[in-house]
Amino acid sequence: MEFRQLGSSGLKVSAIAYGNWLTHGSQVEEDAAKACVRQALDDGITTFDTADVYADTAAETVLGRALEGVRRESVEICTKVFFPTGPGGPNDSGLSRKHIRESIDASLRRLQTDHVDLYQAHRYDHETPLEETMEAFADVVHSGRAHYIGVSEWTAEQLRAGHELARDLHVPFVSNQPQYSMLWRVIEAEVVPTCEELGIGQVVWSPIAQGVLTGKYRPGQPHPPGSRATDDKGGADMVQRWLRDDVLEAVAALGPIAEQAGLSMAQLAVAWVLQNPNVSAAIIGATRPEQVTENVKAADARLDDDVLRAIDEALDGVVERDPGHTAKSSPRSRPS
């Protein structure tokens, strides 16, 4: 396993991180989830990403139980706050001081630890002053309940403003967690250059585009049983944008490229995001332990310029690059 600095901080994370969005507490049973975590540990993964909202808090609970007995100092546990986790009251979501302070304590109880390594704002809260949010994060760090802070899906402008406040408050703001893949490159124009300047690393989610870049979805054919596209607990909604015939035909053209590189299509997809020097880690998910092992092999892959050009040619016309999508990911009002 390769280990990378998280931004310009001293924290190192595994280049492949294990995430449990849409799996633990939802798509797979707990025994299967624990088996995947054990496999991740066996394969050298030390960085585990979750969020309080995943499976309505169950994902954190499952991860906490799965990591029982593991030396706490040997892993990096990352979680997030923003989306609703209570009965839907006016303060059960967002990045207010109240919600952050209550949420970190609840997350620590579920994860069975006294601190997380990285605490992240899951989205930007337009209803809370940024100063209030960053001061609350500073309290979390200064009290020892988190070592570092990060965000997810913030725009370049939001990142710059948050980083300035964090610096004034002596809080290590070290990461951003955006969606990033061969098909979804919206961070490249604005977010990545800003983060390179500020010393913020990317911990990217969905490097395989919700499974589409594995090549298992074929134009005009039924979706494979048990795949993300057949998941009625949220997975099908997320993958829908990539199930157009033109996208699937372009993705199919990646098969020979992967074969020539000696990689599976999934490994090619994960290796591709890791070629970006601003990417500290790529988050993978799994429903079976063997999926973990396959994806981990991408950490050692290096794609030469000919392979990168071939990928761009194959996907020409179906790649999403509009940086405006990042702003759209944060709701204008708090979700309930």
At 329, list the tokens. Answer: 């990911």
124 is catalytic: no
- Could you give the CA distance from residue 39 to residue 37 in angstroms, rounded to a whole number? 5
Q: Is 256 within 8 Å of 249 (Cβ atoms)? A: no
DSSP 258-272: HHHHT--HHHHHHHH
At 109, list the tokens. Answer: 């109880």
* Cα angle for residues 148, 64, 23 (degrees, 5° grid): 95
For the chain, where are the alpha helices, taking DSSP H only? 30-42, 58-66, 97-111, 130-142, 156-168, 191-198, 235-239, 245-252, 254-261, 265-274, 289-296, 305-315, 324-328
Candidates 18, 54, 119, 124; catalytic one:
54
> Which residues carry out catalysis?
54
